[in-house]
């Protein structure tokens, strides 16, 4: 049962990674669940923690302009993915007409 629940949480996280929201956080939460039963998930979780920590430390040592550039590139990527998803799936009816998206 733990494997099924953890697998579903990881799958949900993987699907939502490119979308705005907590995609990676959901994947990591699923790995936490899987790590309670499976050694491979525990090793993958430790690998992920090490790399996230290394990335965070590296980014923290960079000048402000590098951190801003990373933030702007990340925001542009998320905006682009959101526009592609809206183009493919259509703009929901609940979005007000003044929002500058194609219908």
Average pLDDT over every residue of 46-75:
93
Please state, in angstroms and rounded to a whole number, the distance separating the CA atoms of residues 41 and 50: 14
Helix (H) or strand (E) holding 76: helix 64-89
pLDDT of 33 reads 92
Say if 14 falls within a structural domain: no
Residue 103 included in any domain: no
In eight-state DSSP terms, residue 38 is: -
pLDDT value at residue 85 = 77
Query: What was the pLDDT predicted at 99?
Result: 60
C-alpha span between 2 and 62 (Å, rounded): 40
| Percentage, residues of the chain above pLDDT 70 | 91
Total number of domains in the chain: 1
- Establish if 12 belongs to a structural domain: no
Q: Which of 16-20, 35-39, 66-70 has the lowest mean pLDDT?
A: 16-20
Domain that holds residue 72: 23-86
Q: Is residue 54 part of a domain?
A: yes
| 16: in domain | no
pTM of the full structure: 0.66
CA distance 36 to 49: 16
For residue 92, the Cα-to-chain-centroid distance in whole angstroms is 22
Q: pLDDT at position 90, please?
A: 74
How do residues 9-21 score in pLDDT, each as one tens digit?
A: 988 888 887 777 7
How far apart CA 19 and CA 82 sit, in angstroms, is 6
């Amino acid at each position: 049962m733990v494997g099924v629940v953890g697998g579903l949480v990881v799958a949900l996280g993987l699907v939502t990674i490119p979308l705005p929201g907590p995609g990676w956080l959901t994947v990591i939460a699923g790995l936490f669940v899987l790590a309670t039963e499976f050694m491979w998930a525990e090793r993958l979780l430790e690998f992920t923690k090490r790399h996230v920590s290394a990335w965070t430390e590296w980014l923290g040592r960079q000048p402000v302009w590098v951190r801003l550039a990373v933030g702007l590139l990340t925001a542009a990527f998320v905006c682009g993915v959101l526009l592609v998803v809206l183009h493919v799936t259509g703009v929901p009816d609940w979005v007000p007409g003044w929002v500058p998206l194609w219908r």
